Amino acid sequence: ADRAARVSGGLVPMYHTTELMKRATLHSRAIRDLIYTLLNTVSGGLPETLPAWILEERALAPLTESMRQIHFPESAEKLRAAQHRLKFEELFYIQIQLVRKNLLQKQKFQGMPFKKVGEVFMNFCNHHLPFPLTDAQKRVLKEIRADVGSNAQMNRLLQGDVGSGKTIVALMTMLLAVDNGCQACLMAPTEILANQHYQNISELLKETGVTVALLTGSSKTKERKMLDEQLQSGELSILIGTHALLENKVQFRNLGLAIIDEQHRFGVEQRSKLWHKNTIPPHILVMTATPIPRTLAMSVYGDLDVSIIDELPPGRKPIKTLHQFENHRAETYEFIKKEIDKGRQAYVVYPLIEESEALDFKNLTEGYDYITASFPLPKYKVSMVHGRLKPAEKDAEMERFLRNETQIMVATTVIEVGVNVPNASVMVIESAERFGLSQLHQLRGRVGRGSEQSYCILLTGNKMSNDTRTRMETMVRTNDGFEIAEVDLKLRGPGDLMGTQQSGVLALKIADLVKDQDILKAARFQAIDLLKADPNLELPQNQRIAHTLYQLQRYKNLWTYIS
């Protein structure tokens, strides 16, 4: 055996190499020899990156010892100790950055304090609230009021499952802004969703005297001119729209609050533009109906304060979910017929628009033809919506379904976010094995929005992989979005879940968010405790941390900030 391998206790390191490296004789054994030589030529060992008090408190091995043992372990136990130390260090410095950014933002950026709960807010609560708030909604509103009532700028993430009532919390937060002489805006990722927010909020506020307007890419020039004037004069209190809100010509008189819906669909740069819409940065509330596993939230949104609405409004019945094989399609459509005969409506969702020779799945157009030609009762009217329709055509079809002019909506995943039809009680997902777990949960959330019992039917082929079987069993077993997100994280990994690989946040070298949740929690709590006592890392015992952080940021190989 080679000399590097001889020092290991029977455990020989293997290194990934490319064909080009191998041609240059840089194969695994050559890399082993190089690292072995390097570790033995570093005089006095490697510079330690964690202070002695953390090493002692956490019973962590020193860096030099950990580096030796991770490459040339003397035993499996020493290898585990080295891995633990290096994982803790990686996660600890991510958390130091995120927690510190949160604390420094609160010190550095003064928000507009919303000191009073005024007439507009109280009038809405007492006379126009459509239903009593749940305890979860009250708790979240209290957290938001504490934020906006202080002198710091709020940066809060609001998580809530589909139908949990995030919009009413967002609206009441906007009314707090209005009561304190400020304007508010709500930005949604699509015109359909922006329109829906505008219609819902306009309806709720129609007797309050609060002015609301809509701005999207489809807004006419004449409307935009009037809207710009009203914004700059302060006559307009609430503006709802798409990314059109970010344009430089959209100028507010006094923007005090910016709310971003389905925030993962916006880039960091887009979100940061909202900061520059006022001399004092507005309070920021980002909302998502995609439940984020706690470990992922700690890492991706660790610089935001997190609120969770974990309770559905009263009267909502849990959706019943069934898994059926495709040979039971006839019975499934018979069930849809019974529901429509009760006055309800149904969605049928397909994963593909066009025929694909490589994928033997029912596509949208075939499905539409099948339903309209051989459905148990052809008298039903059917809408079809997909991403290739022009926005106006898509909106028209959705409007027809909303008004119950069509009883069945055949669609692709464009209806995943943004359609609220309380009368729809059945969601059939064709080729359900083609969808990810979070996507299945989002699609299911399109039904169950009224008081009637709703159903989600997952149709798959008879042959299923183990992952597919796990997804179907999870969907049938639970409606809890956070439990589903945890299973999804285990199946898919963190990079795929929220597009975090693109942001660079989770380019982890050794730690694993799924397997190392306990280490992540320990690293975060350590960072929080340390920074509460020494936010600027000025104490002598924390100088090593300050120096390491400086080095990491200097070489820019750390993690992108999320604003």
Q: What is the 3-state secondary structure (H, E, C) of 143-154?
A: HHHHHHHCCECC
Closest CA to 185 of 158, 222, 155, 213: 213
Residues 378, 372 contacting (CB under 8 angstroms)? yes
How would you classify residue 377: left for phi > 0, otherwise alpha for psi between -120 and 50, otherwise beta? beta
Helices (H), ranges, 264-356: 268-273, 294-300, 329-341
Residues 160, 307 contacting (CB under 8 angstroms)? no
Q: What's residue 320's pLDDT?
A: 96
Rg (CA), the chain: 27
Which helix (H) or strand (E) is 397 found in, with range?
helix 391-402
Q: Is the pTM of this model over 0.75?
A: no
Q: What's residue 1's pLDDT?
A: 45
Structure token digits, residue 62: 């020193």
Q: What's residue 238's pLDDT?
A: 97
500 Cβ partners below 8 Å, 6+ apart? 296, 300, 494, 506
Backbone angles phi, psi at 215, to 5 degrees: -130, 115
Measure the CA–CA gap between 417 and 387, rounded to whole angstroms: 13
Amino acid of residue 333:
Y
Closest CA to 265 of 417, 128, 389: 417
Provide the edge-to-edge strand list for the sheet that holds 424-429.
320-325, 455-460, 424-429, 345-349, 408-411, 382-385
Closest CA to 93 of 510, 514, 545: 545
Q: What's residue 265's pLDDT?
A: 56
153 Cβ partners below 8 Å, 6+ apart? 105, 106, 109, 110, 111, 280, 281, 282, 283, 284
Q: What's residue 295's pLDDT?
A: 67
Residues 58, 514 contacting (CB under 8 angstroms)? no
Per-residue pLDDT reduced to its tens digit, 136-194:
999 999 999 999 998 888 989 898 877 788 999 999 999 999 999 999 999 998 887 88
Give the CA distances from residue 484 to residues 263, 282, 318, 426, 441, in Å, rounded to whole numbers and listed in that order. 20, 33, 15, 20, 8
Sequence-ordered strand ranges (E) for 231-338? 238-241, 255-261, 283-288, 305-309, 320-325
Structure token digits, residue 360: 């033997």
Per-residue pLDDT reduced to its tens digit, 89-127:
999 998 998 888 878 777 777 778 999 999 999 999 999
Helices (H), ranges, 236-363: 268-273, 294-300, 329-341
Measure the CA–CA gap between 294 and 286, rounded to whole angstroms: 16
Measure the CA–CA gap between 394 and 399, rounded to whole angstroms: 9
Q: What's residue 170's pLDDT?
A: 96
Which helix (H) or strand (E) is 429 found in, with range?
strand 424-429
User: How many CA atoms lie less than 13 Å away from 316 in the CB half-sphere?
Assistant: 19
Give the CA distances from residue 534 to residues 53, 540, 554, in Å, rounded to whole numbers and listed in that order. 15, 10, 22
Q: What's residue 498's pLDDT?
A: 47
Amino acid of residue 494:
P
Structure token digits, residue 54: 């953390």
SS3 content of the chain, % helix, strand, coil (to 5): 50, 10, 40
Q: Which residues of the chain have pLDDT under 70?
A: 1-10, 263-271, 294-295, 298-302, 352-362, 374-378, 416-419, 493-507, 555-563
> Whose structure tokens read 């080009």?
20
- Maximum C-alpha span of the chain: 84
Structure token digits, residue 509: 């070298």
Q: What's residue 503's pLDDT?
A: 42
Residues 8, 36 contacting (CB under 8 angstroms)? no
Collapsed DSSP state (helix, strand, coil) of residue 188: coil
